[in-house]
Amino acid sequence: MIKVNENFCRLAPNYLFSEVARKIQTFQKANPEAHVIKMSIGDVTRPLCPSAVEALHRAADDQGHPDTFHGYGPEQGYAFLAEKICQFDYAPRGISVQPDEIFISDGAKSDLGNIGDIFSPDCVAAITDPVYPVYVDTNVMAGRRVVFLPCNEANDFVPELPSEPVDLIYLCYPNNPTGTTLTRAQLKVWVDYALASGAVILFDSAYECFITEADIPHSIYEIPGAERCAIEFRSFSKTAGFTGMRCGYTVVPHALKGVDSLGHEVDLNNLWRRRQTTKFNGASYPIQRAAEAIFTPSGRIQIRESVDYYLRNAAILRQGVTAAGLSCRGGVNAPYVWVKTPDGITSWEFFDRLLAQTHVACTPGVGFGSCGEGYVRLTAFNTLAATEMAMDRISKFKI
Ligand code: PLP
């Protein structure tokens, strides 16, 4: 029989969302009259903005005419979109990113999962706990050693520098699942550490558009020197409701270098370009046209409305949780509210009691890592009406 990649056998079972779904289903079966509100989902609920929809229609028409038909596109994305990203996502923050440092893809998840291809399997990965599971699982698949960086009340959810040498550092801010952020000064600690140690930071800023406070960096490249030690991942999923469209991008600066076993300097931008041109054929033309449309004046207003809608939901959730006497984080610069369970109750116990008493479903924090035990995540990705109803029920919740 064929030998398998045994690293896959070392993956921890990922039953979080299936178990949440199973428990909701069982509860609903036993209580058919109950109206369950799912505050557990991490997917957007508002439709695409009109500007993106119009661009999609126009692109579909382009594909139907010989003069405007597009076949295979550039693997790293069309220049029309890369230029807009530089112009609107970076230049206004004083960051100089060139179009050939941008790699457009079918979403941040793929890039975060694939980026490991350009690093040695010997690299040690430092990953915060709790965490978006993709970073851990893809490093386990590659056979890499993972060092966890606990984020908890003791360190105010700001990870401490690793106590042993590491090569890859995954940082996600605003954070999923905790909704917490790093200030400029806190992120600078990591950039300085990476520059001094030769580590590379993989900075996931998929939730950047939810930042409302002035001192929170939107991009790691706001920190001096980050172009020499960091790769940034961005997504149109939460920014523009593209979860079902699939589009994101990764910035690999030319200034970022690695080294081969002979000590020769290697340009990481070139390596990633080689990886993408070999294994990826680009995001589709209509999707990139739709993404481009969010940078038009009307598109920018429309996507801002959606983000503000979710932020309003997040504020409502915080209000409800606080009224119930529970403490929480997040929800100010992020669509997630991270709620501490009272009296040492486990995440799953809290989930069960909240569902039974209020018919509101949350996501048990322990599913994001052992440091998530004793917390649950609530999401702002729901309608205002459902959020208000959930808040009303949660505010009367008696543990
Ligand atoms: N990064 C984080 C932290 C996420 O929470 C998600 C999706 O939930 C992603 C990346 C994936 O983004 P995309 O939809 O662009 O693949």
Residues in contact with ligand 1 (CB, 6 Å cut-off): 42, 107-109, 132, 172, 176, 204, 206, 235, 237, 243, 248
**Nearest residue by C-alpha to atom 1 in ligand 1:** 206
How much is the average pLDDT of 224-228?
Answer: 98
For residue 185, the Cα-to-chain-centroid distance in whole angstroms is 22
Six-digit token string for 81: 């979109």
pLDDT of 41 reads: 80
**Distant-in-sequence, close-in-space partners of 138: CB < 8 Å, separation ≥ 6:** 112, 113, 114, 116
CA of 238 to the centre of ligand 1 (A): 8
User: Tokens 């508002």 correspond to what residue?
Assistant: 46
Whether the CB-CB separation of 329 and 180 falls below 8 Å is answered with yes
Check residue 69 and give its pLDDT: 98
pTM greater than 0.95 (yes/no): yes
Q: How far is the CA of 41 from the centre of ligand 1 (A)?
A: 13
Distance between start and end Cα atoms, the chain: 53
Indicate the SS3 state at residue 344: helix
Residue 337 structure tokens: 């509210």
Atom of ligand 1 nearest to the CA of 111: 16
Task: Name the residue of 41, 103, 109 whose CB sits within 8 Å of the most ligand 1 atoms, as the mutation to test its pocket.
Answer: 109
Instruction: Quickly count: other Cβ atoms within 10 Å of residue 183's Cβ.
Output: 15
Is the per-residue pLDDT at 64 higher than 80? yes
Q: What is the pLDDT of residue 65?
A: 97
Distance 252 CA to ligand 1 centre (A): 18
Indicate which atom in ligand 1 lies nearest the CA of residue 235.
15
Quote the pLDDT of residue 42.
Answer: 81
The tokens describing 70, both together, are: 């597009």
Calculate how far, in angstroms, residue 265's C-alpha sits from the geometric centre of ligand 1.
31
Domains present along the chain, CATH in parentheses: 6-47+298-395 (3.90.1150.10), 50-297 (3.40.640.10)
Ligand 1, pocket-test mutation among 238, 245, 250, 336, most atoms within 8 A of CB = 238
Average pLDDT in the chain = 96
Confidence label for 15 from pLDDT (cuts 50, 70 and 90): confident
Strands 230-235 vs 200-204: parallel, antiparallel or unpaired: parallel
The crossing angle, in degrees rounded to 10, of helices 50-63 and 285-293 is 150
| Average pLDDT rounded to a whole number, residues 316-323 | 93
pLDDT digits (tens, 9 = 90+) for 122-160: 999 999 999 999 999 999 999 999 999 999 999 999 999
pLDDT at res. 313:
97
Between 17 and 318, where is the model more confident? 318
- Mean pLDDT, residues 226-241 taken together: 97
- pLDDT confidence of 10, banded at 50, 70, 90? very high
Angstrom distance (rounded) from CA 169 to CA 226: 13
pLDDT at residue 347, as a whole number = 97
Atom of ligand 1 nearest to the CA of 43: 8
> For the segment 172-220, what is each residue's pLDDT rounded down to a tens digit?
999 999 999 999 999 999 999 999 999 999 999 999 999 999 999 999 9
Looking at residue 20, its amino acid is V
